[in-house]
Amino acid sequence: MEERATSRPGLLVIISGPSGVGKTTITHGVERSVPGAVFSVSCTTRAKTDADREGVDYFFISDARFDAMVREDRFLEHAEVFGRKYGTPREWVMDRLAEGKVVILEIDVEGARQVKEKVPHAFGVFVLPPSEDVLLERLRHRKREDEAQIQKRFAEAKREIARAKELSASHGVYDAFVTNDDLARATREAVSLVEARRAGATARP
């Protein structure tokens, strides 16, 4: 299996979407279901929560360390989200692509824009809520923040959706939009899209 994978070209997959839309579940569904798929663990300066696993969900690093990595050009992309820095380690991603893996990046719209500039064949998927009302309900349901925080995330989510659509029209940043009306269905759709692109990528000379 491993040898077959090494003879295939790698595929870089970007999955984005506003908070509360279910993109982490969809991302992990794609990672589990697509053969040869691996999740790229980002570096972040945000505080680690009890739910986070170091080195599995993120590498939690200091501001100084993050800035040093930027100076050393060790990020494929990096951006600030909610006032915290996030970046994709370049070398790990490039090594996995060279091995023929499907590398999944769960990153924001700004990061996606940067990646598409550097790797134009990257496949961008943006996860949408079925409606704004549903998104607001989901953000409240998570019980992770107070109402003021929730409203901030909601406003940011609406901006991010508008920006994703705008950048796709102008720069083709996202190749597909998946509406999460039902988590299992949306995950299946994302998996099919990635597999179809993978089949297309493999057929490319």
List of residues contacting ligand 5GP (CB under 6 A): 19, 42, 46, 77, 79, 81, 86-88, 106-108, 110-111
Closest CB to ligand 5GP among 81 and 176? 81
Closest CB to ligand 5GP among 16 and 198? 16
Using DSSP, state whether 24 is helix, strand or coil. Answer: helix
Shortest gap between Cβ of 119 and ligand 5GP (angstroms)?
A: 14
Beta strands per DSSP E along the chain: 11-16, 37-39, 42-44, 58-60, 75-81, 84-89, 102-106, 123-128, 176-179
Closest CB to ligand 5GP among 108 and 189? 108
For residues 69 and 43, the answer to whether their CB atoms sit within 8 Å is yes
Shortest gap between Cβ of 104 and ligand 5GP (angstroms)?
A: 11
Round to whole Å and give the CA distance between 108 and 86. 9
**Which residue number has the CB closest to ligand 5GP?**
111
Shortest gap between Cβ of 79 and ligand 5GP (angstroms)?
A: 4
Shortest gap between Cβ of 2 and ligand 5GP (angstroms)?
A: 27
Beta strands per DSSP E along 54-171: 58-60, 75-81, 84-89, 102-106, 123-128
